[in-house]
């Protein structure tokens, strides 16, 4: 499959020109698995629904792998990865490789097949799935290994070797990629019921023998290089963890002989101590570092690099969609050569390309100028190779020139800069964005206006999104129905949702968000500075992908975005109607962001746009406004040293959106996680009047924050039931939950609400669940 770039070159790796004095070396850390048109997604889902066979699924997968390998080979990449494909998740693949299947999946040994594998990933009729969590600070989710002292590790999935052989049969010698033992162990959690004194680290020496078997088999199959990913090395490791790393690799050393091993790190620079430990490993041939997110990587390298090792220099950004600044990268590579020696620099991506979109050629609707600024995975492969060639004196002048032109166009394009927005952001500096009065005083003022019962009930915003609703939105977008018809359909839906909430006796209502496809896209589409792709999918988990908007320019709000819907909804009821917005940090964290400006600058711009919206809502008579910050926590930098700065601007951005409202306007926020014990002070300093949080899956954890005596004076609504499950909670169960919360929280601040938005549920689940929720609140009110 060829990729039409303006100046593509096509150098089969099998026939590198022999006049080259130095061989150019290029490497790709990993590649998206889903396919440019999400072929794997559709194949998986059809297989799961029983509509296609194992053979069909395997064929789609093999075709995808082959096309990726061939593409890289055609471009000229020297180190082409294999085993970066996965049917669901590469951490789960490692669990399968190590035979670490939790007993409840009933595996009886032997090679792990789809049955056991997909049961772990998705659950089956009798057993729920394993837990899923975010992969570092990305939006990719991995299946968390569950390990205990009794796990009997064994080599139970030969996928890495099979894929290596598969590529070889196609004439392509690849670098098999394994997730390393330390990362695997530290990404795991102790299995349920395991003694508290159990240490996961102690299992490292038990899994190393399996790694040895795998490595030996890869070597026997003909592999000359293998890549071991140890991204955990970028975290702040404890001394014992680092020692375990060193021990594990010295144990592995014997199996590395006769083989070149690359240890790959990504997503940040590695701490100094770790860098020392890592680069003192004698048995490996090369080290890979992130030079994009790893802002201190260059300094580390300058401080010293072992003379006989290869440096895999991750200069091309694997986390974003921008065309690389080739001239700038070439400069860095030349500096690196001067440090580690010519011949020793291998040009690479900053991390796996899994985290970027697949192929720009499929973007048929993107504005031409913006498109010229972008590079997706397929284009990044070409960039890596172009840099590697340039480094050995075979610079493709035309390719570099066109790259320089697109960068110049991006720098000078009037659509990127908006003087008015820049002035407004500059004016924010040094001012205090907190609301003037204390939250306690504000709550009193709000209560006078809202007159809510104790333990007020509310929901998080969305109501079930029916197929009918999606169809109406789709038809309106494609101009199949008129604006008039669309607005009427939405009004009808809102009226239905309002009536239902009134009938249920909910205190603070929502309009149900029927007009929104996605909480970020909806706002991005109405803000300036955003672009949207048609196929820019990125894997989120399993077969699920997201299509993040691209923020390419200064953000502004040409006109009100939600006021019409919220005031229409308010006009249908005498109860307070919550206005519903997505917060700036969440919009930022769920988009591809600019790389020509600091993240916080972009965030402040979004904050100002949302601020305008908040104030327009207030003027339109909306006195409760919820600003969702579902993704605030996931933007937290991996390294502790960088967290305070992030939290500072993230909190400020939220404050900016609502610091100008009256005391009587009640600001809510919502968060999709409860694991914020470590950032609770930042959450408090956001200054929301009411915060609703996901909680139903981790009661104790959340409540322990308050037991520990954190001073919390604002309203708080820890979700009383799990909306991620179709189960309908009983009144007693919800009442029990509320009582537990009352043991640590003052009844004056407690709100009663579900965990999160209801859009993925059915009305047949939502109605009875909310009915029970209101009944539980009423029951407890009578007892207070
Ligand atoms: N208001 C949004 C909803 O209810 C919030 C979704 C979220 O937190 N992810 O759908
Ligand atoms: Zn949520």
Nearest to 719 by CA among 454, 446, 457: 457
Structure tokens at 553: 């320019």
Ligand in closest contact with the CA of 758: 1
pLDDT at 674: 67
Nearest to 157 by CA among 114, 200, 203: 114
Overall pTM surpassing 0.90 (yes/no): yes
Atom 3 in ligand 1: residue holding the nearest Cα = 757
Atom 5 in ligand 1: residue holding the nearest Cα = 757
Mutate to test the pocket of ligand 1, among 625, 634, 670, 692 (most ligand atoms within 8 A of CB): 670
Work out whether the CA dihedral 330, 295, 537, 543 comes out positive or negative.
positive
Rounded-to-integer distance, Cα 83 and Cα 79, Å: 13
Atom 4 in ligand 1: residue holding the nearest Cα = 757
Mutate to test the pocket of ligand 1, among 460, 579, 625, 629 (most ligand atoms within 8 A of CB): 460
CA of 740 to the centre of ligand 2 (A): 21
pLDDT at 700: 62
pLDDT at 7: 37
Rounded-to-integer distance, Cα 624 and Cα 508, Å: 8
CA of 712 to the centre of ligand 1 (A): 24
Mutate to test the pocket of ligand 1, among 569, 630, 717 (most ligand atoms within 8 A of CB): 630
Atom 9 in ligand 1: residue holding the nearest Cα = 630
CA of 320 to the centre of ligand 2 (A): 25
Nearest to 96 by CA among 107, 81, 85, 84: 107
Atom of ligand 1 nearest to the CA of 626: 1
Atom 6 in ligand 1: residue holding the nearest Cα = 757
Active site residues: 724
Rounded-to-integer distance, Cα 593 and Cα 185, Å: 32
Ligand in closest contact with the CA of 460: 1
pLDDT at 425: 97
Residues contacting ligand 1 via CB (< 6 Å): 460-462, 513, 519, 580, 628, 630, 670, 672, 756-757, 759
Question: Diameter of the chain by CA atoms?
Answer: 88
CA of 575 to the centre of ligand 1 (A): 21
Atom of ligand 1 nearest to the CA of 460: 4
Ligand in closest contact with the CA of 519: 1
The DSSP symbol for 187 reads T
Atom of ligand 1 nearest to the CA of 670: 8
Mutate to test the pocket of ligand 1, among 578, 756, 759 (most ligand atoms within 8 A of CB): 756
Ligand in closest contact with the CA of 693: 2
CA of 240 to the centre of ligand 1 (A): 40
Query: What region does 308 belong to: left with phi over 0, alpha with psi -120 to 50, or beta?
Result: alpha
At a CB cut-off of 8 Å and minimum separation 6, what does 418 contact? 528, 529, 553, 554, 556
Atom 1 in ligand 1: residue holding the nearest Cα = 461
| Mean pLDDT, 10 residues at a time, the chain of 784 residues | 38 43 85 97 97 98 98 98 98 98 96 97 90 92 96 97 98 98 97 94 97 98 98 98 98 97 98 98 98 96 96 98 98 96 95 98 95 98 98 96 97 96 94 95 98 98 96 96 98 98 98 96 97 96 95 98 98 98 98 97 98 98 97 93 97 98 98 81 95 74 72 91 89 94 92 95 97 98 94
CA of 668 to the centre of ligand 1 (A): 12
Count CB-CB contacts under 10 A for residue 67: 14
Nearest to 557 by CA among 524, 532, 520: 524
At a CB cut-off of 8 Å and minimum separation 6, what does 245 contact? 182, 230, 233, 237, 277, 278
Atom of ligand 1 nearest to the CA of 516: 10
Atom of ligand 1 nearest to the CA of 757: 4
Q: Give φ, ψ of 735 to 5 degrees.
A: -60, -40
CA of 535 to the centre of ligand 2 (A): 26
pLDDT at 6: 38
Atom 10 in ligand 1: residue holding the nearest Cα = 757
Q: Is residue 420 packed enough to be buried (19+ CB in 10 Å), middle (13-18) or exposed (0-12)?
A: exposed
Atom of ligand 1 nearest to the CA of 461: 4
pLDDT at 22: 66
- Going along 328-409, which residue ranges are E strands? 345-349
CA of 757 to the centre of ligand 2 (A): 6
Ligand in closest contact with the CA of 523: 1
Mutate to test the pocket of ligand 1, among 458, 459, 462, 719 (most ligand atoms within 8 A of CB): 462
Distance of CA 372 to the CA centre of its chain: 25
CA of 63 to the centre of ligand 2 (A): 37
Q: What is the ipTM of this complex?
A: 0.98
């Amino acid at each position: 499959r060829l990729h039409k770039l303006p100046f593509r070159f096509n150098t089969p790796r099998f026939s590198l020109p022999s006049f080259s004095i130095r061989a150019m070396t290029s490497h790709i850390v990993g590649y998206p698995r889903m396919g440019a048109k999400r072929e794997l997604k559709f194949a998986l889902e059809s297989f799961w629904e029983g509509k296609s066979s194992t053979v069909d699924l395997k064929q789609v997968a093999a075709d995808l792998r082959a096309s990726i390998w061939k593409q890289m080979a055609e471009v000229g990449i020297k180190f082409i990865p294999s085993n970066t494909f996965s049917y669901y998740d590469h951490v789960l693949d490692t669990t399968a490789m190590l035979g670490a299947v939790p007993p409840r999946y009933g595996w009886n040994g032997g090679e792990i097949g789809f049955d056991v594998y997909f049961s772990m990933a998705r659950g089956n009729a009798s057993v729920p799935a394993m837990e899923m969590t975010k992969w570092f600070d990305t939006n990719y989710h991995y299946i968390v290994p569950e390990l205990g002292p009794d796990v009997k590790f064994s080599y139970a999935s030969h996928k890495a070797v099979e894929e290596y052989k598969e590529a070889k049969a196609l004439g392509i010698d690849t670098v098999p990629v394994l997730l390393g033992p330390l990362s695997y162990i530290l990404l795991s959690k102790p299995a349920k019921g395991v003694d508290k004194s159990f240490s996961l680290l102690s299992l490292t020496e038990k899994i190393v023998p399996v790694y040895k078997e795998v490595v030996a088999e890869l070597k026997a199959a003909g592999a000359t290089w293998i890549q071991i990913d140890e991204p955990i090395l970028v975290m702040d490791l404890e001394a014992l963890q680092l020692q375990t790393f060193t021990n594990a690799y010295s144990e592995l050393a014997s199996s590395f002989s006769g083989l070149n091993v690359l240890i790959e790190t990504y997503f940040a620079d590695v701490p100094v101590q770790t860098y020392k430990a890592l680069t003192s490993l004698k048995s490996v041939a090369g080290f890979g570092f992130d030079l994009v997110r790893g802002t201190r990587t260059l300094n580390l390298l300058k401080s010293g690099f072992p003379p006989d090792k290869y440096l895999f220099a991750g200069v091309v950004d694997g986390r974003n969609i921008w065309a690389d600044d080739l001239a700038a990268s070439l400069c860095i590579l030349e500096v690196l050569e001067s440090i580690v020696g010519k011949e020793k620099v291998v040009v690479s991506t900053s991390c796996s390309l899994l985290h970027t979109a697949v192929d720009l050629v499929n973007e048929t609707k993107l504005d031409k100028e913006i498109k010229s600024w972008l590079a997706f995975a397929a284009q990044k492969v070409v960039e890596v190779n172009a840099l590697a060639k340039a480094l050995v004196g075979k610079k493709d002048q035309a390719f570099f020139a066109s790259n320089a032109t697109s960068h110049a166009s991006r720098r000078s394009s009037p659509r990127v800069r908006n003087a008015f927005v820049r002035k407004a952001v500059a004016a924010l500096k040094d001012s205090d964005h907190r609301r003037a009065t204390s939250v306690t005083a504000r709550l009193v003022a709000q209560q006078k206006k809202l007159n809510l019962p104790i333990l007020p009930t509310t929901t998080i915003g969305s109501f079930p999104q029916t197929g009918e609703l999606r169809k109406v939105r789709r038809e309106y977008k494609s101009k199949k129905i008129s604006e008039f018809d669309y607005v009427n359909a939405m009004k009808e839906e809102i009226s239905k949702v309002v009536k239902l909430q009134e009938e249920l006796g909910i205190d603070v209502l929502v309009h149900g968000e029927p007009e929104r496809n996605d909480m970020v896209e909806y706002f991005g589409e109405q803000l300036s500075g955003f672009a949207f792709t048609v196929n820019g999918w990125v894997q989120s988990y399993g077969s699920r992908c997201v299509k993040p908007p691209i923020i390419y320019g200064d953000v502004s709000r040409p006109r009100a975005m939600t006021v019409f819907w919220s005031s229409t909804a308010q006009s249908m009821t005498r109860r307070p109607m919550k206005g519903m917005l997505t917060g700036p940090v969440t919009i930022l964290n769920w988009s591809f962001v600019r790389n020509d400006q600091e993240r916080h600058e972009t965030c402040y711009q979004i904050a100002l746009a949302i601020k305008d919206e908040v104030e327009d809502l207030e003027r339109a008579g909306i006195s409760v406004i919820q600003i969702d910050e579902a993704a605030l926590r996931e933007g937290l930098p991996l390294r502790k040293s960088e967290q305070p700065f992030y939290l500072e601007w993230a909190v400020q951005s939220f404050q900016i959106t609502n610091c100008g409202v009256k005391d009587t306007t009640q600001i809510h926020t919502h968060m999709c996680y409860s694991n914020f014990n470590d950032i609770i002070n930042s959450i408090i300093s956001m200054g929301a009047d009411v915060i609703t949080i996901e909680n139903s899956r981790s009661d104790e954890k959340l409540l322990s924050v308050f037991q520990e005596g954190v001073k919390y004076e604002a309203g708080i609504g820890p979700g009383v039931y799990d909306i991620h499950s179709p189960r309908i909670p009983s009144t007693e169960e919800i009442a029990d939950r509320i009582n537990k919360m009352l043991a640590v929280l003052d009844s004056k601040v407690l709100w009663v609400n579900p965990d999160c938005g209801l859009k993925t549920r059915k009305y047949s689940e939502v109605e009875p669940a909310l009915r029970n929720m209101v009944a539980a609140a009423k029951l407890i009110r009578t007892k207070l």
